[in-house]
Structures are given as C-alpha cells and as structure tokens.
Amino acid sequence: MPSIATRDEIRLKTAGEMDAMAAAGRAAARTLLALKEHAQPGVKLTELEELAISTLRDNGARPGLLGYHPGFSQVTYLHATCLSVNDEVIHGVPRPIALNAGDVLGIDLVAVIDGWFADTALTVIVGPTPHNPRAEKLLEVTEKAMWLGIERCWPGSTLGDVGYAIQHHVEKNRFSILKQMVGHGVGTAVHEPGLDVANVGRPGSGMRIREGMTFCVEPMVTAGRGDYKHRKNDPWAVLSKDGSLGAHFEHTVGVTKDGPRILTLP
Ligand code: MF3
Ligand code: CO
Ligand code: CO
C-alpha cells in the first residue's frame, strides 16, 4: 500500500493478543491455500472471490477487506480479496474474467476474528503451463526476499535492516522493488498507523523494532522497472508502468523477544 505513516502511537501487542491475531491468521492462510489450489485455467476471478468469502466463513472469520476504506483511498473496497493478474502487482479487483494457463496471479486477503486482523498474500503461476523460467524466478526471488526481511524482525534491529535485506536480494537478481509501496502495522485494523515497512533501506537506519510490534512484511516486485501506474477507471489496481510481470508475497509478523513470529500460518 502507499505510505500512510503518521506520528500515531504504535500499538504493541501482548503474547495473548498475538495468539488472537494468529487465529485470524490461520483462517487467512487456509483461505489463501484454498484459492491457490482453485486458481486453474478457466476459473473466473469472481469465483475465487466467492470461494474466499465462504472459506473465511467456514474458518470462523470475516473478510477484512470487504467494506474497508483505507486511508490512502477516496473510495471503499467492496471485495474480500485483491486478485492481481500479470502486470497488476497489487490491489487488483476481482472481475468476471477467466484465468489462462501461465497467468501470474497475486492473491491477497485479510481475515478478522474477534476484532483481530491478519493480512497475507502470495503469487502463483496458473497451471498447467509450459516452463516459464522468468516468471518462476520472479516468484522465487520475491518470496525469498520476504523471508529474508522477516528474519531481520528482531527487537533491536531496525526497519532499515528489513528493507535492506529485501532490496538487496531483489536487486541482486535484477528485479525491481515498487519503492512507493510499503508494508504496515496490522492487528486492530488492516492498516494500523505509526509505522511503514519499506522494502528498501540501509542497515541500521529507520525505526527501531520493538517486542510487541505486529506488521506486514510484503515485498512488491516487478520483473522490469519499479515504476507503477493506474488504469483510467480503476482507482485500485497498481500496475507495473512498463507492463512487466509483478509479484507480491506477504505475512503478518509479530516481534517477540525470541524473534519473528509468523502470525499467518495455516
Ligand atoms: N491487503 C492489502 C495490503 O497488503 C490491502 C488491500 S487495501 C484495499 O496492505 F483497499 F485494497 F483493500
Ligand atoms: Co495484504
Ligand atoms: Co498488507
């Protein structure tokens, strides 16, 4: 998402509050996997959206994006998922278009249980498909960058350490970060104010990471350049400006004294 960092207090979470977020995170992760399985050629994005709503419900959760009005937007979001195809990197709106074999599909969703929010995303290549080394590499590098960022989420490290780890891995592989898009605090809302998790940075710079912080680590990467654009009549989808493929992986992470705790596991 675009930066909304303000000077608001950061809401630190107790271990019990992280447990509550992990319950929402389990529903989110299970739903994400159901959609990943179901993302086959001929399936419409709107069918995946319906599957997300029913799977979240079956897991005791409500969709956190449906009816959400983010601070960076003029309008309310009317869907449970963001489904981003090919050059759409993030925030693609579910439409009644069918997937094709070889499409690169980003799936992003938020689950809420008892007022606790968890946000997670992944990107898949819709199969069966001929070997597509460039798309496969893009996904592999973006996911690995997310994990390298997450590994830096220890008390005493900085958000610059996280951003550096992500940026270094992506650029070493000659892909590009969408630099204007950042991760965010999460827990009592989809986007909690107070901190931005940039996907670029310098080691030791930026805000110090503290025990109890809960935020999303979510690199948004393109196979081309790192500039983005919008379509004329769609305020949501963020597309690569040069038409290159995009990828996005995301976990909600809680910082404990023993390091990062992934709160969006199935
Ligand atoms: N889940 C997205 C994120 O990772 C937020 C989507 S905002 C919406 O931050 F408005 F598009 F729903
Ligand atoms: Co998300
Ligand atoms: Co997010």
189-241 pLDDT per residue, tens: 999 999 999 999 999 999 999 999 999 999 999 999 999 999 999 999 999 99
pTM of the model: 0.97
Residues 6 or more apart whose Cβ sits within 8 Å of residue 61? 24, 27, 28, 31, 111, 112, 113
- Which residue owns the Cα nearest ligand 1 atom 12? 65
Output the DSSP codes for 194-213.
EEEEES---TT-SPBP-TT-
Q: Give the Cα separation of 25 and 13 in Å (integer).
A: 15
Q: Is the minimum distance from the CB of 110 to ligand 1 under 6 angstroms?
A: yes
Before 203, cis peptide (omega within 30)? no
Answer yes or no: CATH 3.40.50.150 is held by domain 15-261: no
27-74 pLDDT per residue, tens: 999 999 999 999 999 999 999 999 999 999 999 999 999 999 999 999
Q: Is the minimum distance from the CB of 68 to ligand 1 under 6 angstroms?
A: yes
Atom of ligand 1 nearest to the CA of 184: 9
Q: Is the minimum distance from the CB of 79 to ligand 1 under 6 angstroms?
A: no
Q: What is the DSSP letter of 7?
A: S
Q: Is the minimum distance from the CB of 250 to ligand 1 under 6 angstroms?
A: yes
**From ligand 1's centre to the CA of 117, what distance in Å?**
12
Residues 6 or more apart whose Cβ sits within 8 Å of residue 135? 102, 104, 125, 223, 245
- Residue 45: what are its φ and ψ, rounded to 5°? -55, -35
151 close to 260: Cβ distance less than 8 angstroms: yes
Q: Structural domain boundaries of the chain?
A: 15-261
Q: Is the minimum distance from the CB of 64 to ligand 1 under 6 angstroms?
A: no
